[in-house]
């Protein structure tokens, strides 16, 4: 079968360059309403930026090592973060404070995702696991142990209750 050709579009171009972190930016998450986006970096800081102007709105501190993953809830005023410090945090963006910690990973946590329709948080890390959490109670509902090396990415799908992971397995 032949692949359909994409419709032509004007060449992509850089819209804006935003600087502000003191280390590599390791993750980006955009708020569902397209008002702002968040970045996490090796400087241990999460920065929230206005999408229209590119101006820094707030800096969130609390991680003690590189921030590796971010996810913005479309259902609550929450931002979730994870990092090389094994920490997974839920930030209440109305107060810019951490309101929940999710404990269980044995080493760095590299990725996280939110289920789009239910209050489930997914995390993935260097301990070769992906973990399923009840967002509200902080309970580790299930630990997915099918990988033999670092689980580097995780996503959730709305149409069926499935979790998809990517890893460093050979």
* pTM for the model: 0.91
Q: What is the dihedral sign for C-alpha 136, 137, 141, 145?
A: positive
Tokens of 20: 């502000």
Q: Sheet containing 45-50: give its strands across.
A: 25-30, 36-41, 45-50, 56-61
- Our measurement of the distance from residue 19's CA atom to the centroid of its chain's CA atoms, rounded to an integer in Å, reads 20
Q: Where are the domains of the chain?
A: 25-167
pLDDT in tens, 44-92: 999 999 999 999 999 999 999 999 999 999 999 999 999 999 999 999 9
For 96-131, write each residue's pLDDT tens digit: 999 999 999 999 999 999 998 999 999 999 999 999
pLDDT score, position 140: 98
Question: What percentage of the chain reaches a pLDDT higher than 90?
Answer: 85
CATH 2.130.10.10 describes domain 25-167: yes
């Amino acid at each position: 079968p032949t692949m359909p050709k994409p419709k032509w579009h004007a060449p992509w171009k850089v819209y804006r360059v935003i600087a502000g972190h003191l280390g590599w930016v390791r993750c980006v998450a955009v708020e569902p309403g397209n008002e702002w986006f968040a970045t996490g970096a090796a400087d241990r800081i999460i920065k929230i930026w206005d999408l229209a102007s590119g101006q820094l709105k707030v800096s969130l501190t609390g991680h003690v090592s590189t921030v590796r993953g971010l996810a913005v809830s479309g259902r609550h005023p929450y931002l979730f973060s994870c990092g090389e410090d094994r920490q997974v945090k839920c930030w209440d963006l109305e107060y810019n404070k951490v309101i929940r910690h999710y404990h269980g990973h044995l080493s760095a946590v590299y990725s996280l995702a939110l289920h789009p329709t239910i209050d489930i948080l997914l995390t993935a890390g260097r301990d070769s696991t992906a973990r399923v959490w009840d967002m509200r109670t902080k309970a580790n509902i299930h630990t997915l142990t099918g990988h033999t090396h670092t689980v580097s990415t995780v996503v959730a799908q709305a149409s069926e209750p499935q979790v998809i992971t990517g890893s460093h397995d050979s």
